[in-house]
């Protein structure tokens, strides 16, 4: 049986698939037409966030039995189309949780201390000590929207930085929040109290555009906003207006409505905006974890019919 890999995964994962007796074909960065051709004789498909498994791709994949996402978000997979064809969809939640949480905290500190802007300024030959005065995070309140795997670790980490944490999550058990030292509040109260707001939900119909003009208006003046979860949860046009007006003092995004994002995105022209190109899970550790997990899961399914989700 053949497994097609269309987004880069760590070598350890590829080795596991081969050791399980599966034929592996790595075809990275395929154009949509080429993907339709490549997927025709694949029994398994391994992806990250770049490959879009649309209904058209599913229809072209005559032999496909399993799609494995080396990572968490499944918003790039048409799950309904897969279900209709009996194709199992797996992800590897947990393998990149630490990395995404650490990246969020790194972005929060970088934004507070203007580290990307100061680096660019020094590299342009300047020494602008006054321009880059920042603010401490200690004593400030972080509002976390979505306190699941990543949100929980962010909450733990920032308490080490002496921040207070409030969170909004309609699905979390109050005793779990209490154990984390987090106060559960509704979204309005979170907006009223938070100095920083970080979103950690999946992209769902109810979270698409959740951070929009209406929500920014309910936040404190000078709030700082982060999205290291999924592009589209923050409405970028509304964020741009809020950053321009100063309502939002600064924002940090790792994920975008359209990826890859180019200089056409006006956010990239703002001094009070910092960004990374979807790097939340891009550490050696996370990539090894998710590659090994997805490979074991796919091998178990194709060779033994076992369904596992790490």
Let me know: does 134 contact 114? Beta carbons within 8 Å: yes
Cα–Cα dist 157/149, whole Å: 13
Site for ligand NAD in 36-55 (CB under 6 A): none
Structure tokens at 263: 């200089």
Residue 225, SS3 per DSSP = strand
Structure tokens at 308: 């596992």
Q: Which stretch binds ligand NAD (CB under 6 A): 17-25, 120-128, 146-154, 287-295?
A: 146-154
The smaller minimum CB distance to ligand NAD, of residues 97 and 141, is found at 97
Longest CA span, the chain: 64
Q: Is 96 in the site for ligand MLT (CB under 6 A)?
A: yes
Chain residue at closest Cβ approach to ligand MLT: 71
Q: Which stretch binds ligand MLT (CB under 6 A): 174-182, 236-244, 260-268, 273-281?
A: 273-281
Q: Which stretch binds ligand NAD (CB under 6 A): 55-63, 90-98, 112-120, 297-305?
A: 90-98
Q: Is 73 in the site for ligand MLT (CB under 6 A)?
A: yes
With CB under 6 A as the contact rule, the residue among 76, 112, 207, 287 that binds ligand NAD is 207
Q: Give Cα 52 distance to the centre of its chain.
A: 16
Strand ranges (E), 85-147: 88-90, 141-145
Site for ligand MLT in 35-54 (CB under 6 A): 48-49
CA Rg, the chain, in Å? Answer: 21
Cα–Cα dist 170/123, whole Å: 45
With CB under 6 A as the contact rule, the residue among 68, 71, 148, 209 that binds ligand MLT is 71
**Which strands, in side-by-side order, build the sheet including 141-145?**
183-184, 164-168, 141-145, 196-199, 223-227, 248-253, 273-275
With CB under 6 A as the contact rule, the residue among 35, 191, 281, 302 that binds ligand MLT is 281
Cα–Cα dist 236/234, whole Å: 6
Site for ligand MLT in 160-189 (CB under 6 A): none
Q: Is 294 in the site for ligand MLT (CB under 6 A)?
A: no
With CB under 6 A as the contact rule, the residue among 194, 278, 292, 293 that binds ligand NAD is 278
């Amino acid at each position: 049986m053949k497994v097609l890999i269309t987004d880069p995964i760590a070598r350890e994962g590829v080795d596991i698939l081969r050791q399980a007796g599966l034929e592996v074909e790595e075809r990275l960065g395929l154009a949509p037409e080429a993907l339709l051709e490549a997927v025709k004789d694949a029994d398994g498909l391994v992806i990250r966030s770049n490959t879009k498994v649309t209904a058209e791709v599913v229809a072209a994949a005559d032999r496909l039995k399993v799609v494995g996402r080396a990572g968490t978000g499944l918003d790039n997979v048409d799950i309904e189309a897969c279900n209709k064809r009996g194709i199992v969809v797996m992800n590897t939640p947990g393998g990149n949780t630490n990395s995404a949480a650490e990246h969020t905290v790194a972005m929060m500190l970088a934004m507070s201390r203007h580290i990307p802007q100061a680096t660019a300024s020094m590299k342009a030959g300047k020494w602008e000590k006054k321009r880059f005065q920042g603010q401490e995070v200690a004593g400030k309140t972080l509002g976390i929207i979505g306190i699941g795997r990543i949100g929980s670790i962010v909450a733990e980490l920032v308490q080490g930085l002496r921040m207070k944490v409030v969170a909004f999550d309609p699905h979390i058990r109050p005793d779990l929040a209490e154990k984390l030292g987090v106060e559960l509040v509704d979204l309005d109260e979170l907006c009223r109290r938070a100095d920083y707001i970080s979103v950690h939900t999946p992209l769902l119909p109810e979270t698409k555009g959740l951070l929009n003009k209406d929500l920014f208006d309910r936040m404190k003046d000078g709030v700082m906003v982060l999205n290291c979860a999924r592009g589209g949860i923050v409405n970028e046009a509304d964020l741009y207006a809020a950053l321009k007006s100063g309502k939002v003092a600064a924002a940090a995004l790792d994920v975008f409505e359209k990826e890859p994002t180019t200089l056409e995105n006006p956010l990239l022209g703002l001094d009070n905006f910092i960004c990374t190109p979807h790097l939340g899970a891009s550490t050696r550790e996370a990539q090894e974890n998710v590659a090994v997990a997805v490979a074991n899961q796919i091998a178990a399914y194709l060779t033994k019919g076992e369904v596992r989700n790490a």
